[in-house]
Structure 1
């Protein structure tokens, strides 16, 4: 390679790494070959996390939804496509993508995606319904299941005690709603409710938060997803909060705190600061009794806010809603209902034909996965996998199923399999090599 070619390669790599949009390129099998810094910021993953995995293993979406896989299958570009999905850290992401096929001598060898992060825009600008809902109280939170009734009971105690609160749960379970209900449930509370979003926080924003807490009258501060902060920023946040004890503090995390602390994702001292009341909100799939009431309640809110819309749900649709596992929880359910309702002006009942095709396909995929074991033993009528490869595939499949069953909690999964946490972590690590 000449000096000029070497300089050109360095410049190209520098441009990719410092671009203000996310860049993700994959080969023909869907495995990553380029993943720049901005894409890492958007998706919360490192190149080490993704280099040995296809994108279907990393993100919770079906083949029909992945713009990269669409391009690999069709060989045609996908331009200005909005994509919403949940990564392996269970963080919801919304991007606007331009995705192009990569050809070499007329042979499709991969695809490259340019992604603009519009998560914040979607959340705060394009959701007027949420803005117009008014204050959220305990009475507005659906709690038909015994699990959610217990959550509300503990939250009411927390509101009365006026102590720091930690909300634990997956993306979309309603941690923000419960935080607001705790705020309004405090007796004689005249404080304002302020949310501090930690997903894209930096040192400057934490300094601004410190100024706000020092200058403003007592408020309820909700620190959303403190586990998304780096450890150094968590230390800075803890220092700021300890200096301003006149406020009510609530925080949320997306996973079991023991697991987060053990993995170095959550600062132990910050956990202790918030853990006067630790409230776990179960995912929607663990409380099916709440599924249909939640959907009906949200449709009612839409009607009250917009003056028109669907008011009832057909029995066939109810069956479909109950058959799906809802990785995005209530947030994903609301997005589905928003999409369906926005297309209808006269009907009052949500029927099967109104549901988007991609949602029906996802439900079908879940049902097929639950009823049929993975066919990795026989590749065709006459071809068997080598025995070592079969054992590796079988172990990978079984461990993935066990992890999913226990919501990716290492400790619970290890206990159910009769092995130590260290042994399970070792096996999972080896399967990535």
Structure 2
């Protein structure tokens, strides 16, 4: 029985749905981590309290959990809009059920699905609709820095692709600069004066992504309105589908039909809309591997990869590291008002030995951090860089980082960073669990994560 209870608790604790339970007096007796995330509150702030003590504008009449407790009747799929104690705006869809024991209601359980993020995504879509071309960064080919043969070959192929209307598939590891290539193809091509609409497929649930891509008609699903989809917004322009392998198989097949037939049908509508949109898609994993694993449809892949561009990882073009570093130094000199000229030779040698798993993005972040830490120096020396960035691992750290080169405070900070990083990995980056293990407050841990760029 005890084992069953532990299993159930572990299950509820790790659900993505918020679970909130009140007893017959209306006081909170259970509140899982998902509910903490939804309402921005800690368990310690709600356990043993009634809801009107920690939620704004909520009383027994407006609260589904309290109405269910009083009536003893299940309440299904009700949209709730309210604010937490700290003013956080929250939208949820709730199903609430009574707990009956010996013909008496002894508790009420609320299961909450967070709709706040969906609302925010919807607002972003509305902003795109109100703008003819949406928000653009306007990268061009001269923003791609490098002299290596592999990067120049990729740029050359992309330049030729910009003169075409065919679909393009850009393959490269995370942080290689795939969107810079995609934007360069669009803004240097024959559609440059038309919309460029990027969308990160990995960041949006499939159920929402379909509506965002193809549009919705009023009443086609709960809370929907007549809204243009991104394909209609991008008409005659380009749409960038970033991390296309994150899209489920059903949506891949639907997009394949769009590419073949040249029209879309908004969700809930029986009318079709002709569209002329160029597709640029990106992958951050090997396409053959994805096809084998069933994450990427073979027919969809071949339709997208009419023109295929491989962006090389930074470890395979190390001759570009110094050039990129100088580029980022020049950029952050302007942003931060600094006058840095270069990087210490010893540091640059470490850069050339390091494999850069985060690629160009990691290099940029490392230099940005060092530029922020420097104080009037013209050369970025070793003390301003994170130990990982200069090629040191945990085993070699103590021996290589002696106090002749860094201060005691810097040495201790580096150790603290490693301890936090290791614990975060152990707890799958769950901040609440990691803070408990480290015996510091959640706020302190969040501050240190930001401080050390973890």
> Taking structure 1 as the reference length, what is the TM-score of the superposition?
0.54
User: Does the 8 A contact of 1:302 with 1:308 survive in 2?
Assistant: yes
Report 1 or 2 for greater relative contact order, CA contacts < 8 Å, sequence distance ≥ 6: 1
Structure whose alpha-carbon radius of gyration is higher: 2
Residue 273 (structure 1) aligned with residue 303 (structure 2)? yes
- Aligned-partner Cα distance in 1 for 2:320–2:391: 23
- Aligned-partner Cα distance in 2 for 1:236–1:302: 43
Residue 16 of structure 1 corresponds to which residue in structure 2?
Answer: 14
How far residue 173 of structure 1 moved from its aligned partner, in angstroms, is 0.8
* 1:262 aligned residue (269, 292, 295): 292
- Aligned-partner Cα distance in 2 for 1:199–1:172: 15
- Aligned-partner Cα distance in 1 for 2:391–2:355: 13
* 1:316 aligned residue (333, 346, 349): 346
How far residue 303 of structure 1 moved from its aligned partner, in angstroms, is 2.5
How far residue 271 of structure 1 moved from its aligned partner, in angstroms, is 0.9
1:228–1:324 CA distance, 2 compared to 1 (3 A): same
Residue 220 of structure 1 corresponds to which residue in structure 2?
Answer: 238
User: Does the 8 A contact of 2:195 with 2:237 survive in 1?
Assistant: yes
Residue 135 (structure 1) aligned with residue 138 (structure 2)? yes
1:320–1:133 CA distance, 2 compared to 1 (3 A): farther
Residue 203 of structure 1 corresponds to which residue in structure 2?
Answer: 207
Q: What secondary structure, in the 3-state scheme, does the structure 1 residue paired with 2:280 have?
A: strand
Cα distance per residue 1:206-261 (max 9 Å; x no partner): 22111231255422111111112222332233344544451121001112222221
Instruction: Point out where structure 1 has 5 or more consecutive residues left out of the alignment.
Output: 22-35, 39-117, 125-131, 368-433
Residue 161 (structure 1) aligned with residue 164 (structure 2)? yes
Cα distance per residue 1:178-218 (max 9 Å; x no partner): 11111111046201221110113322222211123125542
- Aligned-partner Cα distance in 2 for 1:223–1:353: 40
Equivalence map 1:322-337=2 (5 Å)? 322-337=352-367
- Aligned-partner Cα distance in 2 for 1:218–1:227: 25
Residue 177 of structure 1 corresponds to which residue in structure 2?
Answer: 180
User: Does the 8 A contact of 1:302 with 1:309 survive in 2?
Assistant: no
Residue 236 (structure 1) aligned with residue 266 (structure 2)? no
Residue 148 of structure 1 corresponds to which residue in structure 2?
Answer: 151
> Taking structure 2 as the reference length, what is the TM-score of the superposition?
0.52
* 1:302 aligned residue (320, 332, 335): 332
- Aligned-partner Cα distance in 2 for 1:9–1:258: 39
Equivalence map 1:376-415=2 (5 Å)? none
User: Does the 8 A contact of 1:203 with 1:233 survive in 2?
Assistant: no
Q: Which moved more, 1:284-293 or 1:182-191?
A: 182-191
User: Does the 8 A contact of 2:166 with 2:307 survive in 1?
Assistant: yes
1:135–1:363 CA distance, 2 compared to 1 (3 A): farther
User: Does the 8 A contact of 1:173 with 1:282 survive in 2?
Assistant: yes
- Aligned-partner Cα distance in 2 for 1:315–1:8: 56
Q: Which moved more, 1:167-176 or 1:344-353?
A: 344-353
- Aligned-partner Cα distance in 1 for 2:360–2:284: 14
1:150–1:343 CA distance, 2 compared to 1 (3 A): same
State the aligned residue count. 262
